[in-house]
Structure 1
Amino acid sequence: MAVRQGADTDVDAERLEDLVEVAHRIRAAIESVIEGKGDVVRLTLTVLLAEGHLLIEDVPGVGKTMLAKALARSIDCPVRRVQFTPDLLPSDITGVSAYNQQTRDFEFKPGPVFANIVVGDEINRASPKTQSALLECMEEHQVTVDGVTYTLESPFMVIATQNPIEMEGTYPLPEAQRDRFTVKIAMGYPDPAAELEMLDVHGASQPLAKLEPVATTAEVQALIRGVRAVYVSQSVKKYAIGLVDATRHSPDLRLGASPRATLHLVRAARAHAALSGRDYVIPDDLQDLAVPVLAHRLLPSLEAQGQRRHPEQVMTELVRRVPVPDTK
């Protein structure tokens, strides 16, 4: 795979091929734990390479936390897990300045957000004030405590899970927070064959405990640099804008996607293309990602709610309507 002329990159073409091979290694390691969910694993890896964040929403027991842990263990990097509860405080996530009697000064005690991968379990169980502690770090990759700003190391990825059916004791994520997640996915129930394999594998042992890192932090950083080099033509960029703009004018939606959503869509498309062995984005990449990248940012109109039409359905219809550019 070669890098197109004009791409901003410090990774040569030969090295980029090696980096794609590393991405496949990580994917294979995750799939050794998560059976029958190849599409979900690919999307998860796409978000990592796009420098984004992932929201996993589904019913209990389908492997949401297992997927997050599998990705974290596949990479040799600092990983922290946060169990969100109603009594969790913002300082429990970002850290706190504590007084040191020996030095007679305040010193900063970093919180769990100071890691390359942060796994937030049941994020909608925390109060809105605690949820908002993630806003700055997810968008700007920095944390401000007591007027001092601390930069987070790269790569930085938040993988959050939430249960969509339990309402008591939960706080729905506000639009501003959902907009910071690059992709929202649902695990779904496994098919009978995958569930049978799960009984054979997980019934006798815990494969997650045996999972060893297959990539280093430096390799992931190089992967991300390689993805940034993937070429996006002007026609494909206009197509991405057309998909997002369609959500802003749809009568079925009272809130369309933001400019941040356009940026996330193009970044994810670059990663999607790289994982497909291409150094350029095609319209198919945007079509494959439009629903998982855009749907969770949309709010249906009252009429659409009355017709039980979900944002995913509306987005699927919009993808069919927006004209596809000729990239030949």
Structure 2
Amino acid sequence: MENTQTERYHQQIESIFSEMGKVVVGQRYMINRLLIGLFTNGHILLEGVPGLAKTLTVNTLSKILHLQFQRIQFTPDLLPADLIGTMIYNQKQSVFEVKKGPIFANMILADEINRSPAKVQSALLEAMQEKQVTIGETTYMLDRPFLVLATQNPVEQEGTYPLPEAQVDRFMMKVYVDYPTKAEELEVMRRMANMSFAGEVQTILTKEDVAEITKAINAVNISESLEQYIVELIFATRKPAEYGLREEANYIQFGASPRASISLNRAAKAIAFFNKRDYVLPEDIKEVASDVLNHRITLNYEAEADGVTARQIIDRILSKVSITK
């Protein structure tokens, strides 16, 4: 890859952050993770209480990228056919015709995904994993890139349905969205209290640009020792006692799946690329480890009783597992 080409990609990525700043105050961390998902073909799950600009951020990002966008509001009465489409009978021609659902887009915002029951959540499985949808007896390939950005309210909130483990594992990262700082909240209040605030943004990337940046990230080098380090981190979630994590072993019911290794590798490459490097450092892996693993470690009731979180366990694993030369 020519340096001038790579520099152009880095400038485009910085321009995305600048354009996002015209509408969204702060939340650079969330935007960074959304871009990692976009450029590595990974779906992102955003969790946070209502009002933290999750939907606004995804909506604004879709405008900056020249991609087809669909927003699906998940509700308790939503049906799988409302998501993927269905067969409609044409009385004039006496034939069944396919009516494609909103899933046929490049970017899907699954808003408040845990407001719908399991049968609707499961309808996303084939689309997210196989990049295809089956309606009737016909299978339709989805356009690339295909990215599902799902938002959910904390499970403790009333009227929510916890996502099944198989569904959660399809997401590359689960990103916790936190409250803004005092300065950011002051800026949010001033902007949104202004009734004439429009927040117009410009298109930065095309579908072809996204594909080229994806290729550039895929070409980032990762050493064998760091590949082995990723595998050791994943195995530490499955057999923590073997890594000297005996206390944590009492809390973990199931460890991370092989998808975690793949996602951690891809995300670390993206972080390295964003930092204008063509090689991965251990810090890149550690930076995204919590986002990649926090939803893939299933804790038992004892952990819940003791107030232990997956993120705390991940921090202990990162401090315990070392890199072998």
Q: Tell me the TM-score normalized by structure 1.
A: 0.91
Contact 1:73–1:213 at 8 Å: present in 2 too? yes
Q: Is 2:100 the partner of 1:110?
A: yes
CA offsets per residue over residues 236-294 of structure 1, 9 Å max, x none? Answer: 11111111111001313111000011111111111111111111111111100110111
CA offsets per residue over residues 1-49 of structure 1, 9 Å max, x none? Answer: xxxxxxxxxx555423322222222222223322222222212211211
| Structure 2 match to 1:4 | none
CA-based RMSD of the aligned residues comes to 1.7
Which of 203, 215, 237 is the matching residue for 1:247? 237
| Structure 1 match to 2:305 | 306
Q: Distance in 2 between matches of 1:128 and 1:201?
A: 38
Amino acid at match of 2:182: P
| Structure 2 match to 1:317 | 316
Structure 2 CA distance for partners of 1:261 and 1:208, relative to 1, 3 Å: farther
1:159 deviates by: 0.8
| Structure 2 match to 1:65 | 55
Amino acid at match of 1:290: A
Structure 2 CA distance for partners of 1:318 and 1:206, relative to 1, 3 Å: farther
CA offsets per residue over residues 77-112 of structure 1, 9 Å max, x none? Answer: 110000001110111111112122344322211111
Q: Distance in 1 between matches of 2:290 and 2:165?
A: 17
Q: Is 2:171 the partner of 1:181?
A: yes
| Structure 2 match to 1:286 | 285
| Structure 1 match to 2:147 | 157
Contact 1:20–1:223 at 8 Å: present in 2 too? no
Amino acid at match of 1:305: E
Amino acid at match of 2:266: R
CA offsets per residue over residues 137-161 of structure 1, 9 Å max, x none? Answer: 1111111121211111111111111
Contact 2:87–2:136 at 8 Å: present in 1 too? yes
Q: Is 2:13 the partner of 1:23?
A: yes
Contact 1:27–1:41 at 8 Å: present in 2 too? yes
Using the aligned pairs only, state the percent identity. 40
Which of 25, 40, 43 is the matching residue for 1:50? 40
- Higher RCO structure, 1 or 2 (CA under 8 Å, sep 6+): 1
Which of 203, 211, 216 is the matching residue for 2:201? 211
| Structure 2 match to 1:202 | 192
| Structure 2 match to 1:100 | 90
CA offsets per residue over residues 152-174 of structure 1, 9 Å max, x none? Answer: 11111111111115543321001
Q: Distance in 2 between matches of 1:17 and 1:107?
A: 48
1:72 deviates by: 1.3
Amino acid at match of 2:231: I
Amino acid at match of 1:34: V
1:205 deviates by: 4.7
Structure 2 CA distance for partners of 1:186 and 1:29, relative to 1, 3 Å: same
| Structure 2 match to 1:270 | 269
1:209 deviates by: 4.8
Q: Tell me the TM-score normalized by structure 2.
A: 0.92
Structure 2 CA distance for partners of 1:205 and 1:213, relative to 1, 3 Å: farther
SS in 1 for 2:46: strand
Q: Which runs of 5+ in 1 are unaligned?
A: 1-10
Contact 1:291–1:315 at 8 Å: present in 2 too? yes
| Structure 2 match to 1:236 | 226
Amino acid at match of 2:205: A
Contact 1:94–1:143 at 8 Å: present in 2 too? yes
Structure 2 CA distance for partners of 1:157 and 1:295, relative to 1, 3 Å: same
Amino acid at match of 2:52: V
| Structure 2 match to 1:74 | 64
- With 143-152 and 239-248 compared, the bigger mean Cα shift is at 143-152
